[in-house]
Copies of this chain bind each other. A is one copy, B any other.
Amino acid sequence: MNRICICLVFVLSLISPFSSYAQAAEKRYVLTSADGKVQTEKWDLSGNGWSVRKETLHGGKQEGIELITIDNGVMQIVIIPTRGMSIYEVRNKEMRLGWNSPVEGIVHPSFVDLDSRGGLGWLEGFNEWMVRCGLEFAGHPGTDEFVNNTGDKATMDLTLHGKIGNIPASEVEVIVDSEAPHRIRVRGIVYEKFFYGPKLKLIAEVSVVPGEDTFRIDDTVTNLGSSDQEFQLIYHTNFGAPLLGKGTKLHTAIKKIAPMNEHAGKSINSYATYEGPTKDFIEQVYLIEPLSNEDGMTGAVLQNAKGNRAASMYWSTKQLPYLTIWKNTAATEDGYVTGIEPATGYPYNRKVERAAGRVPKLAPGKMRRFTIDCGLHNGTSAVKTATEKIKTIQGKHKVKIQPHPPTLNNN
C-alpha cells in the first residue's frame, strides 16, 4: 500500500523537462520544480517494504540542504539534490559506501567559493560517496588556453573538478515503475548553462529495485547550445573505513596503468592493495585504461582484507573509457579514503586532457548517456562472485604497467 502526502504530490505534465524519459506505466511525484514553482520541506512515500523520504537540513553550512533517502528494504541511498544530485552515502546492515571527510556536515553551495584557496574551493564541500566532476571542465585547477566559439584564443582559470557538484537541481522527481519489479527512481535535472558559456543539461538518476542489493546510476548529458560543446565527466566515488582498511584489495580489468606523477610511480606495483591510516601519507594517483569484455563492459571491485565485504561498479568503456584510482590512506582525522573514478578522461587540467584527446565534444542537441551499476556484496561467496567477474574480463590479457607518468603536453 502506498501512503502518499497528497498535498505535496504533483503529476508532471507531458511537456515536462524530463520528457525524453516518458514511459507509459509509472507514477511520478515532483518534489522540486523551478519551472513549476514547487518546493517541499519534507515529503515521504512508502510502498510494500520500501520508502522514499525527503528532508531539509538546518544549522551551520548545511542550512537549506535537501536530502532524499531511498530505502528499498535492504539498503538506504542518500541523495543530495542541492549538491548536484551527489550521493552522500549508501548503507545496508553490513556496509556503508561513503567516508569520513574532515568536511563537517553537508555543505550548501552558497557557502562554497570554488575560486578560493587557489581554485581548490571545491574541497571545502567534499565529503560525498559519489560526486560528479564536470561538466564544462573537471580535474585540476589552472589556466586553460583554448580557442573559443568566436575563433579567438582565450584563457580561463579552471577550478578543481568544475561546477556541477555545487549546482542545485532545478527539477527533482521520484518515479515508481508501475510494473514489476517496480523500480524506484530519483531523478534530477541540473543545468550548467550560462550566457556566453556552456549550455549543458544533466539528467541524473539513481534507481533501485525493492529488496535488491544493487543500484544504478543512469545519467544523460545534453548540449542545449547551438555549437559543439566540450565537456568532461568524472564519477568521483569515495570509499573509507571499514570497507577500506589495511589489506583491502582493488580488482579492476586493466589494459594499461600509469602513475599520475613520479611519487605514485614508486608504488605502482602495489596499486591494488591498501595500507591502514598513515599520518602524512601523500596521495597516490593511478591512471587506468580499463579492459572491457565483448559487451564493452568493465568494472571495479573493492573488497576488504577478510574478503567478506565488497563494493562493485560496472560500466561501459564506450561511455566512460578511463578510470582513475586515488589512494589517500591518510590519517583518519584527515580523511582516510580511496577514490574509484570512471570518467571521460583523467583528472589533469583540461588543457592537458584536450592535448591528449580526452575531452569529448557534444554536437548541438546531442546527448550522451552514462550508466553505472553498483553492488554491495556481503559474505565470502558473494565477494568471490563479484571479483571473479572482474577476473573473467581480465582473462589472460596482460596488464601493461608503465612505471613513469605520461609526458604531458600542456602548451
Contact = CB atoms under 8 A, between A and B. Distances in A.
Interface of A: 32-39, 55, 57-64, 101-105, 108-111, 113-118, 120, 123-124, 126-127, 149-150, 155-157, 159, 167-171, 191, 193-197, 199, 224-227, 279-280, 282, 330-335, 364
Contact of A279 (B62, B193, B227): B227
A39 B61 CA distance: 12
A102 B225 contact: yes
A37 B62 CA distance: 10
Contacts of A64: 63
A59 B60 CA distance: 20
The DSSP consensus for interface residues of chain A is: loop
Given A104-B193, A127-B195, A150-B282, A113 B111 contact: no
Contacts of A60: 32, 34, 167-171, 191
Instruction: Please give the count of copies of this chain that the complex contains.
Output: 3
A335 to B, nearest CB: 5
Contact of A104 (B61, B109, B116, B191): B191
Q: Which 7 A-B pairs have the closest CB atoms?
A: A39-B58, A60-B170, A226-B331, A34-B59, A110-B110, A34-B60, A104-B191
A199 B332 CA distance: 12
A330 B331 CA distance: 50
A157 B102 CA distance: 22
B156 A126 contact: no
Contact of A59 (B33, B57, B116, B332): B33
A169 B226 CA distance: 36
A259 to B, nearest CB: 16
Given A32-B59, A37-B58, A124-B195, 8 more contacts: A34-B104, A59-B171, A60-B169, A102-B197, A105-B170, A118-B155, A118-B157, A225-B331
